Amino acid sequence: MTLQKSNSLNPHVSVDCVIFGFDNGQLQVLLIKRGNNNGALALPGDLIRNNENLDEAASRVLFELTGLRNIFLQQLRAFGNPERLEGNSDIQWLNSMREKPQARVITIAYYSIVKPGKLHPKPSSFASEVNWMPVLELPELAFDHNMIISQALDHLAASLKKEPLLAFEMLPRKFTFRQIQKLYEEVLNKKIDKRNFRKKLQTADILIPLNEKEVGVSHKPARYYQFDKKKIKTKGWL
C-alpha cells in the first residue's frame, strides 16, 4: 500500500530560520514583522508541509516570507517546550492564522551566515516587513525566538573560534584588522585585547596584506587585508 503525500500543513512541526549578517560594524539578524503595523517581530518561520522534508521546508519558508533563494541553511536543533506558543499576542495571532492554533508545535531551527549587502529581502505572505536588526539590540520577539537566536549565536561563537572560514563568509572582500576584530567582539559579545588579537591573527598566517588603505576616515587610515583562501581552513587559531 502506497501512502499518498499531502501538501497540507502539518500543525505540529515548524521551521524557523536564523540568518546572521555583519554590516556597519554590527552583527545583525534578519527578522520579519508579523501581519499589520502592530504585529510582533519574529524569525522567518512557519509550519512544514506534509510532502516536504525539513530542509525543503526551511528553504521554502524563507523564500515565501523574504523572497530570498539559494541561502545555505544548516540545521541547528529542535525546540519543543510545551509552553513556547503561550504568549497572549502569539495566541491571538495563531487564532487568526491556523486551523489548529492550540496544537503543540515543535520547531526545527536553521541558521546561516551571509553578507547583507548582497541580499535584497522583500516581505510577502504574512510578513508585512523584513529588516535586519542588531543582535545586541533585540526587543521581545514572538514565541521563543529570542531563545532560538541566543542558541544560534552560541553555536556561531563556538564555531568562529575554531573555524576562521566563517569570518570569510561574513566580511567584505577586503577588510581591516579593526573590522575583523569588531566582528569577533560582536559575535562573542565581549571586548578583545587589540594587541593580543592581532598577534594571534598574524601568527595564524591566514591574511594577505593589500597595497590599499582606508580613505576618507577621521582616524589614521588602516591597511586592507584579504583572507588567504589556501590557508583559511586553519582551525583553532583564537
Q: What is the pLDDT of residues 113-147, one digit of tens each?
A: 998 888 899 999 999 999 999 999 999 999 999 99
**pLDDT over 60 (residue 194):** yes
- Residue 225 pairs in a beta bridge with 175, 209
Bridge partners, 22 (sequence order): 27
Please name the fold of domain 9-160: Nucleoside Triphosphate Pyrophosphohydrolase (3.90.79)
Strand-pair partners of 226: 208
C-alpha cell at 185: 567582539
Residues facing 21 on adjacent strands: 28, 114
Q: Report the percent of the chain where pLDDT is more than 90.
A: 59
Domain boundaries, the chain: 9-160, 164-227
Residue 75's CB is within 10 A of a number of other CB atoms, namely 13
Q: What is the pLDDT of residue 2?
A: 44
Is residue 183 over pLDDT 80?
Answer: yes
Report the SS3 class of residue 218: coil
What number is the average pLDDT over the span 199-216?
Answer: 88
Q: 218 phi and psi, to 5 degrees?
A: -80, -20
CB 50 within 8 A of CB 138: no
For residue 234, the model assigns a pLDDT of: 57
Whether this model's pTM surpasses 0.85: yes
Closest to 57 in 3D by CA, of 5, 13, 3: 13
pLDDT at 167: 84
Q: Helix (H, G, I), strand (E, B), or coil: what is residue 26?
A: strand
Rounded to 5 degrees, φ, ψ at 228 are: -80, 105
pLDDT at 3: 45
Average pLDDT over residues 169-193: 92
The reported pLDDT for the residue numbered 228 is 86
Question: Alpha-carbon distance 28 to 13, whole Å?
Answer: 27
pLDDT tens figures, 141-169: 999 999 999 999 999 999 888 887 788 88
Taking domain 164-227, whether its CATH number is 1.10.10.10 is answered by yes
d(CA 139, CA 131): 14
Tens-digit pLDDT profile for residues 10-66: 999 999 999 999 998 999 999 999 876 667 899 999 999 999 999 999 999 999 999
Spatial distance between the Cα atoms of 129 and 32, rounded to a whole number of angstroms? 5
Q: Is the pLDDT of residue 235 over 90?
A: no
pLDDT of residue 86: 73
Greater confidence (90 vs 180) lies with: 180
Comparing 122 with 96, which gets the higher pLDDT? Answer: 122
- State yes or no: pLDDT of 4 exceeds 50: no
**Amino acid letter, 221:** P
Whether the predicted pLDDT of 196 surpasses 50 = yes
Concatenating the DSSP letter of every residue in 160-207 gives: HHH-THHHHHHS-SSB-HHHHHHHHHHHHTS---HHHHHHHHHHHT-E
CA atoms within 13 A on the CB side of 126: 18
